[in-house]
Structure 1
Amino acid sequence: MGDRLLTSKYEWQIEAELDKNVIAKLAAETKLDATLVQILYRRGYQTATAIENFIHPSDSELNDAFLLYDIDKAVERIQTAAFAGEKIVVYGDYDVDGITATAVMYSTLEQLGADVSYYVPDRFKDGYGPNKAAYQRLIEAGAQLIVTVDNGVAGHEAIDYANSQGVDVVVTDHHELPPTLPAAYALVHPRHPKGNYPFGGLAGVGVAFKVATALLDEVPSDMLDLVALGTVADLVPLVKENRLLVRYGLEVLRTNPRLGLKSLYELAQLNPEELTEQTIAFQLAPRLNSLGRIAQAKLGVELLTTEELTAANQLAASCQAYNQQRQELVEQITAQALAKVAANDTNAINLVYERGWHEGVLGIVASRLVEETGKPSLVLSVNEAGLAKGSGRSVAGFDLFAALDHQRDLLDKFGGHEMACGLTIAEASLPKLQVQLNAEAKTQGLTAQTKQPLHIDAELKLEQITPTFYQQLQSLAPFGTENEEPLFLITGYDSLAAKAIGKENNHLRLELSGSGAGPSISGVAFSLGNQAVTTIVAHSEALRFVGTLSENKWRNQVSLQIMIKDLELDQDKSQGVIIDQRTNKLRKSLFTKVASYIFFDAKLKEKVTPLLPSGANALLAAEIDDAYQAQELYLVDCPQSLTQLEALLPRLEFAKLYLLFYQQDNAYLLGLPTREQFALVYRFSASHKNVAIYQRLDELANYLKIRRELLIFILQVFFELGFVKIENGLMNYVPNVKAQALENAECYQARKLRMQAESTLLFSNSTSLTQYLTKFLKH
C-alpha cells in the first residue's frame, strides 16, 4: 500500500478566490500585485483609497492624546507634583510592555524636572499589578504620588490603601476593565467606559506615550523606539494608530538606537539597518522579558534609560546572559516535561510538575508542550512547602479557564482566560486535578485528533515570488496581531534538492524551481525531527507546504526564501497512501472531491449524500460484498465495531484512502455506567409508576445526577432485559423478573464493541492507526 502519508500539523484553511474583475480593477488602480490586493480586500481595505491609506499611512492616524478620558486630570496632577517637588513613583510591570512604559513615563517626568523614581514589581514576590504591601513600602519611603503604567485597573485594594494614606494614584493602563473601577485620582485607559478615544487597541506603553505627549505638549519622537518595542511584544492589534507608532518606532530603532539597545544589538549580532518587527518579537523582546523571568525587570528599565556607555554594556551583557539562562531552562524543563507526558500519554490534558522547576519559564514550557502534543498543558513547580505553582496554555476549542473554574475547591489561587492561566495548588491535590481535567475534556468534547486551524491567505506560484512582489509585500508591514504576515500555499514548483541541515539533522532545506526562467528559491523548515526530514528527503517531489516569505542575507548576497510553517506529502502525487483526516465535525468542505464515500451508518449516508459533488459515489459498507476499486476513497464515519471495518478493508483497492471516522457521540469518552448508577436507576424504577420517560428524561437525569446519554443507555439495557416496560410513553417497573447479568443485554455488548472501535480508530495516533489498518488491507 505504500508508506504512510506525512500529514500536516494544522488544519489548512485556504481562502476562496474573490471576484477577479473587482481585484483586477483595484490592482490596476493601486499598481499592486493582484494576490496582495486580494489579501488586503479580505482584511477590509476594499477601495483604492483605503489601500493607499493603509500602505502609506499619515500622521492623521495619531489621535489627540487629550481625547483620552481623565487625561486632563492626570496631566494636571502630575505637573502639579513635578513643579512642587513631590516624590513621584512610576509603578510598572515586569514584561516588555511594562518595562518600556516605565521607561517612557520615567524619562518624561525627568524632563519635567520631577523628583521621580520607578518601581517594577517582582514577578515572584509581588505578582502582577498594584500590590498593597509594595504600595505600603513605597509610601513609607516618601512617595506622594504613584503613577501606574501597564497596570492598575484591577488594583482596588492597593489604591484604596494609598487613598487612605493621602497619596493619589494616577492609573494608566490598557488591560481588560473590571466591572468596578478602582478609586484612582485619574484613570487613563483607551477603552474607558465613559471615554470616547478613537482607538482602543493601545499597548500599555502606547497609553504612557500618550500621557507623555500631553505632559510635554509635543510628540516625544525620541521615545517611539520604546513604543515599538512594547507594542510589538504585547501582541496588541497592529493596525491604525499602533501600526503607525511601530513604523515610526522601527525607524528610530534602526537609525538612532539608545545606548543600551545599541549594546544589546552588538551582543545579539543584530544589524540595526535590517531590524524589523520580527527582530523585536523573536530577538529583542525575549531578551528583555528574560530579566523579569530570571532576575529583576528593573534592569530592563535601566538598560533603556541609561546614558552611560559602561553601564549600557554591563546591562546588555546581563540581559544576554539571563536570556541564555532562560533558553537553557526552557530546553531543560521542556525535555523533562515531554518525558513525563510520554510516560503517560493517555491523558487528554497534560499536567506535569516537578520540584525545583524555575517558575519564570513555565508558561513558555506549557506553550512548547501544546505545540509538541496538540493538547492543553499545565506545567507547575512544587516548592518546599508542598505547593505547586505554574501556568497553563490551551488549544482552540477547549476553555481552560472554565475547566479550572469548576475545580476551585482544589485550587489555592487561580486566574486567567480561555487560552491561558496561572494557578497554585497543593501537590497532594494534583492527581485528583488530573482526573478532573480528563473528565472536563470529555465534557467539552476535546479529542486528540483535533487539529488547530491555520489560516492561509492565498495560493502563490513559485514564479510569482520575485523581488518586486516581495517589495510590495513589505508595504503591508509591520506585521502582527490583526495584520498578520501573509501565509501562502506554494504551488507550481519542482524540487531540485532536499537535505537535512542542523547539528541533529532535524531541519530541512529545499531547493525549488518554478516554470519560469528565474533563479531557484530555498525553502526552510525548522525542528521537524529526524524521521520526518528523512521521509521528506526521500519523497521531496510529493511535498506540499505553506509558508511566509523572507530575505536571506549571506556574504553580501541577498536572496528570497520561504519559511515553511507546515507541510505534508502531496495527496495528488502520493500513491497507495492512508490519509488521516479524522474529525469530530462534518463540514461541507470535506466533501468537495469526486470520490467514493463509504458510510457505516445508513442515516448518516442519507444526510450527507446531498452534499456530495456531482459524480461522487455514496456507499454503505454493509452493501460492499466484492472487491471495490477507486482512485480515492473516504471512510466517512466510525464503525460500530472493529469487526465491521476488518470485514470491509480487504475488499478495498485505492490510491488514496481518507480517514474521517466521524462519530457524533463518543461512547469511549463517556464510558460505561457504574454498577452504582445501574442500581440507582433500578431503585428509582421500582419505586415510581407511570414515569413519562420521553418528556421528563432531562429532569430525571438531573434528579439522579447521571448524564443524559448514560441514563438512556441504562434504560435501554433494562428494557431489553425486561426489567422495565415502556407503553404509550410511560415507563413502569416489571416485578418478579428473573435476575440476569447486565452484560447479557445485546445493547451492552454492542456498546463495549463500539467503545473498542472508538478507542482504536479515534484515539490512537496516526502511526498506530495506519499500522492497524494495513494488516487488513489487500497487498
Structure 2
Amino acid sequence: MLQPKYDWKVLLSNETDAQMLSELLEIHPLLAKLLVSRGMKTANEANAFLNGSVEDMHDPYLLSGMKEAVPRIMQALEYGERILVYGDYDADGVSSTTLMIQLMRRLGANFEYYIPHRSKEGYGLHIHALEEAHKRGVTLVITVDTGISAVDQIAYANNAGMDVIVTDHHEPPDFLPEAYALINPKLPYCQYPFKGLAGVGVAYKLATALLGSDVPEAWSELAALGTIADLMPLVGENRMIVRTGLKSMSQSPFPGMTALLKVAGWNKGEVTSTQVAFGLAPRINASGRMSHANKAVALLTAESSEQADMAAHELDLLNKERQSLVENIVGEAMDMLEGKEASGNLPDVIVVAGEGWNVGVVGIVASKILERYYRPTLVLGIDSDTGQCKGSARSIPGFDIYEALNHCSSLLEHFGGHPSAAGMSLHRDQLEQFDQRLNAFASDLLLPEHLIPTMTADLECSLQEITLPIIEQLEGLAPFGMDNPSPRLLIRGAKLLELRQMGKDGKHLKLTLEQHGKMIEALAFGKGEIAYLLSKDAMVDIIAEPGINEWNGSRKAQLFIQDISIPQLQVFDYRGSSHPESAIQDILERLLKLPNCQANSTAVVLNDGSDDMYNFKLKDTSLWVYDRRVGVLPKSDGVENAAAHHIRTLFVMELPKSPVIWNTILTLFTSLERVFLMHPMSKSDDVIEIPSREHFKQVYALLRRLAVVSIAEDELVQALKARTSLSRRMLAMTLDVFEELDFIERASGIITVNNAPSKRPLDSSSKYKELGWLAEMEQMMLHSRASQITEWMLAQIQEVS
C-alpha cells in the first residue's frame, strides 16, 4: 500500500451537456466532458474558451478611471510634460514597466521609469523617489502593478503638484488614495467584467485605450509573461492575452525575449506557459531578488541581440545564485521547525524569521515550506542593525492571507497582496505578538480538512482512452496555468510492469503501466524517493496529465504522474539478505522522510529468544516477537500491545513457528501497508513439505520395521532420513502427528510403536492440520515470488477479517 500525497477529488461532468457539446462542436467526448466539468455548459461558452482571441476582449473604457486617465496622458503628451512610470520589482512589475516603456516610446513621450530596490526600499511608492522625480520636473506619475495602497505617498505627490494615475490589480484597502485616476478591476465600484487581470494586464488595457487597434501584437508577449509569472487565472481575457503572447514569442521581435528563452532551454517551436512559468519568470524575478529589477527591464528593452545575450546570461547566473541561496535558507528554516513537528506542536500558521535572510527570496522559501507542511507560511528576513523585518507569505485555499494580515495591521508597518500571497514589514519586537495574533485568527477559520492538500482530477478514465488523437484535442485547452490546469486524469487499477529511476541522483521515475492489454509509459518527476515503495506487478491508481513523447520523428502518448497510490498491501523481497539490519536502517532513513510515515508506525518481528533479537540495534522502529497465544508481543520499551494497530510497515526478520501465529498477526496489524521480507532462506534440514497420505504411509511402514522394539528418537530420525527424502524437521513433525494419533509413544527420548493403535483418520489430528498450514506458509514465504506472496497475504487478510 502507498498513501497518495493528496486527497483526491474528481470533478462532476453532466453527461447530457457533454454529449451535446461533443456533437455541436465535433470534438471528442473526453474533451467535451472536460469542458463541462470546468463550467462550460453551452456551445457558445466552450467555443469562446477554445477559440477566443484578443479581438474578443472587453472595452478598456469599462475600467473605472480609464476615462480620466487617457485625456490626462494625452494632455501630458501635448504639452511635453515629464512622465514617470513607476513599477515593481517582480516579473509582473517588470513586464508592466517594460510595456509602459514601449507605450511611452510609441507615443513620443518625455518620460523616465523607476523601480524600487527590493531589499533596500521594499514594495510600493516611496516618497523619496517622488521627491527626486519632482526635482527632475515630473508632473505626471503612472504606476504599474503598484499604488492602490499608497495613500500617504500620493497625498505627497498631490501637494507637490504631481498628478498620479494608478494602474494596479492588488486588493484595494478600505481607504483609497486620492489619485487623479485609479484603474483597478478589483475596485468595489468598478464594473469591468473580468477581475483577474495581472498588473501588466491592466497596463495592457491602458495601452489599448490609448492606441486602439494599433497596439502591436508583440506587446501581448509582455502581458503573457507577467500574467503567467504572477499566477493569474488563465481564463477569460487572460487566456486570450496569454495565448496570443505565447504564439508571438516563438518569433519575438524583442531580442531580449528570444535571448531569455534560449538560456532557459528553448530552442525553437511553440512556446508553452510551462516554459514561461519555470524558465522565464524565475530569471526575471532573480533580477529583483538578487540585484535590481532594472537589469530585467534592460533585457526586455534591449535593441540588439548582443546586448540581449549578455543581459540574459547575467540573469541566468543570478537565478543560479538565487537557487543556492533559497536552498540554504530553506534548510535553516526547516531546522527551526523540526522540533515543533517532532513534538506535534507545529502551528496552523507558520512564521519563521532569520537574521541576514535575503528578503528577495523569502517568498520562494515560504512556498517550499508550505509545500512540505501544507500550512499558511510567512518567512521574514531580519535586518540585524535596525531590527526591521521584511517578509512574504504564501497561503492555502480556505485561508485568505491578505485578510489575516489586515487583522494584524496594527502590528505592521506595511502590507499588501492577494488572498494566496502577500508581503509585509514590521519590527522584530512585534514578531512574537504577530505570530500569536495570526494563529489566534486562524484558529477560528482553519479546520482540520483545510490542512489536507487536495488534488482534483477532471475525470476518471482508462488507459485505452488515452490516445494520440485525443491528447491532440486536449491540447486545445492550452495555455495551462492557474484556474486552467493541464487536464488531470484519474486512472485506477493499472499494473506496474516496469520501474526505473532516472535523472541526477535518481530523482525521477519512469514507469511502464498496463491495463486490459494497453501499455503506456509514465513519468513521475521528483518522485524518485518512493521507488523502493513501488513493487513490481502492483496495481496502482494515478492522477496524471496526458502528453506526447516526440523522439526521432516518432510520436506516442505518455503520462505525467502527479500523484500515485497503491490501495492494497505490498510485499518487498529482501529474503536472504546478508546484512538485514543495514538494509532495514537504509529503508527506514528513506521511509521516515516521507509524509504520513512516522517512527512509531514501523516494526520488526522475529522469534522470542532469537540471536537477532539481541544483536539488532533499534533506531527508529519497535521490536515485536511471535507469541503462540496472542500472535505477537512488543519487546521494545514503552511500546504497548495496543499500538499494533498503528503499525504500517513490518520487517519480517524470521518466520513464525506456527501458521496460527501468522494469521493472528494479520488481525492485530490492522493498518499494515507494506511488508519487507528479510528472513533467511531455509536449510535443507529445515524444509517441510505439504503432507500427503502417501508420505505418512511410507514413514509409518518404515517405523514398523525400524522400531520393532523401542528405539531412541535421534537414532530413529537418522534412520528415517537415510531412507526418505524428508528433512529432519519434517520427520520430527511427522512423529508429532503419530504421537497425537496414538501410533507411537514417546518417553525420555525413546519411541515405541503402538502395535494396536485406534483407527483415527489423519485429518482428525490438529498437528497434521497445523503441519499442512505451516508447510503452505513456508512454501509460499520461502519460494514464491513477491507478487504471489502479496496475493496470498491479501487472501489471508480477507479470510481472517
Instruction: Report the TM-score when normalising by structure 1.
Output: 0.69
Distance (whole Å) between structure 1 residues aligned to residue 87 and residue 164 of structure 2: 13
Write out per-residue CA displacement over residues 420-465 of structure 1, whole angstroms, 9 at most, x where no aligned residue: 4444455566567667767776665665994212211111211211
Shift of 1:161: 0.9
8 Å contact kept, 1:9–1:451: no
Amino acid aligned to 2:261: Y
Paired letter, 2:352:
V
Contact 1:202 1:242 in 2 (8 A): yes
CA deviation profile, 1:633-670 (whole Å, cap 9, x unmatched): xxxxxxxxx998889999895699579xxxxxxxxxxx
Partners of 1:463 and 1:492 within 8 A in 2? no
Report which stretch shifted further, 188-197 or 369-378. 188-197
Task: Determine the C-alpha separation between the residues in 1 that align with 2:498 and 2:177.
Answer: 62
Q: Which residue is equivalent to 1:717?
A: none
Alignment of 1:159-308 (within 5 A): 159-220=154-215, 221-308=217-304
Match of 1:334 in 2: 330
Q: What is the alpha-carbon distance in structure 2 between the residues aligned to residue 433 and residue 190 of structure 1?
A: 31
Partner SS for 2:146: coil
Quickly say closer, same or farther: Cα 1:35–1:274, change in 2 above 3 A. Answer: same
Structure 1 residue 551 corresponds to structure 2 residue 548? yes
Q: CA deviation at 1:216?
A: 2.3
Shift of 1:415: 5.4
**Structure 1 residue 548 displacement after superposition:** 1.3
Post-superposition CA distance 1:403-431 (Å, at most 9, x none): 66776777666555654444445556656
**1:321 CA displacement:** 1.0
Q: Structure 1 residues 546 and 335, CA, compared in 2 at 3 Å: closer, same or farther?
A: same
- 1:514: how far off? 3.8
Give distance in 1, aligned partners of 2:326 and 2:554.
34
Report the Cα distance in structure 1 between the residues aligned to 2:74 and 2:419, rounded to whole angstroms: 41
Partner of 2:76: 81
Q: Say which SS state the counterpart of residue 292 (structure 1) adopts.
A: helix
Aligned mate of 1:533, from 531, 534, 559: 531
Residue 373 of structure 1: how far off its partner (Å): 2.5
Q: Structure 2 matches for 1:492-503, cutoff 5 A? A: 493-503=494-504
Post-superposition Cα deviations, 1:21-74, rounded to whole Å, max 9, x if no partner, equal 443343233222222212211222112333223212255521222333232321
Root-mean-square deviation (Å): 3.5
Taking the aligned partners of 1:320 and 1:406, their CA distance within structure 2 comes to 39
Moved more, 418-427 or 487-496: 418-427
Pick closer, same or farther for the CA change 1:546–1:98 going to 2, 3 Å.
same
Q: Secondary structure at the match of 1:352?
A: strand
Are residue 149 (structure 1) and residue 148 (structure 2) matched? no
Indicate conservation of the 8 Å contact 1:462/1:492, yes or no. no
Q: Per-residue displacement from partner, 1:581-619 (whole Å, max 9, x unpaired)?
A: 99xxxxxxxxxxxxxxxxxxxxxxxxxxxxxxxxxxxxx
Q: Give the match for residue 389 of structure 1.
A: 390
Q: 1:348 — aligned with what?
A: 346
Instruction: Specify the code of the residue in structure 1 equivalent to 2:91.
Output: V
Give, in whole Å, the separation in 2 of the partners of 1:226 and 1:446.
40
Q: Secondary structure at the match of 1:217?
A: helix
The aligned residue for residue 610 of structure 1 is: none
User: Following TM superposition, by how much is the alpha carbon of 1:523 offset from its aligned partner in structure 2, in angstroms?
Assistant: 1.6
CA shift in 2, pair 1:452/1:574, >3 Å:
farther
Q: Are residues 434 and 486 of structure 1, via their aligned partners in 2, closer, same or farther at CA, if it must alter by over 3 Å?
A: same
Alpha-carbon spacing, 1:207–1:440, altered in 2? closer, same or farther (3 Å): closer
Does the 8 Å CA contact 1:374/1:448 hold for their aligned counterparts?
no
Matched, 1:560 2:561: no
| CA shift in 2, pair 1:191/1:574, >3 Å | same
Cα distance in 2 for residues equivalent to 1:510 and 1:24 = 33
- Contact 2:546 / 2:557 at 8 angstroms: preserved in 1? yes
**1:314-361: CA deviation from partner (whole Å, max 9, x where unpaired):** 111111111111111112222232233224423323443333222111
1:7 aligned residue (3, 8, 32):
3
1:255 match: secondary structure? coil
Go from structure 1 to structure 2 and tell me whether the alpha carbon gap of 1:327 and 1:560 turns closer, same or farther (over 3 Å shift): farther
> Which residue does the alignment assign to 2:579?
none
Matches within 5 A, 1:501-650: 501-516=502-517, 520-528=519-527, 530=529, 532-536=530-534, 538-539=535-536, 541-571=538-568
Change (3 A) 1:203 1:88: same
Matches within 5 A, 1:28-67: 28-67=23-62
Worse-matched range after superposition: 394-403 or 473-482: 394-403
Q: Is the 8 A contact 1:253 1:272 kept in 2?
A: no
- CA displacement at 1:376 relative to structure 2: 3.5
The alignment status of 1:472 with 2:464, answered yes or no, reads no
- Over 3 Å counting, the alpha-carbon distance change for 1:178 and 1:418 in structure 2 is closer
TM-score by length of 2: 0.67
2:122 is paired with a residue of what secondary structure? coil
Task: Please state how far the C-alpha of 1:12 moved relative to its aligned partner.
Answer: 0.7
- Residue 250 of structure 1: how far off its partner (Å): 1.0
* 1:415-434 superposed matches below 5 A: 419-424=420-425, 427=428
Q: Distance in 2 between matches of 1:171 and 1:441?
A: 33
After alignment, is 261-270 or 486-495 more displaced?
Answer: 486-495
Aligned partners of 1:255 and 1:272 also within 8 Å: no
SS in 1 for 2:337: helix
Structure 1 residues 405, 237: CA separation in 2 closer, same or farther (over 3 Å shift)? closer
Equivalent position amino acid for 1:488 in 2: L
- Rounded Cα–Cα distance in structure 2 between residues aligned with 1:40 and 1:415: 35
SS of corresponding position for 2:505:
coil
Cα-to-partner distance string for 1:99-143 (whole Å, 9 max, x where unaligned): 111111111111111111111122223322222222112112221
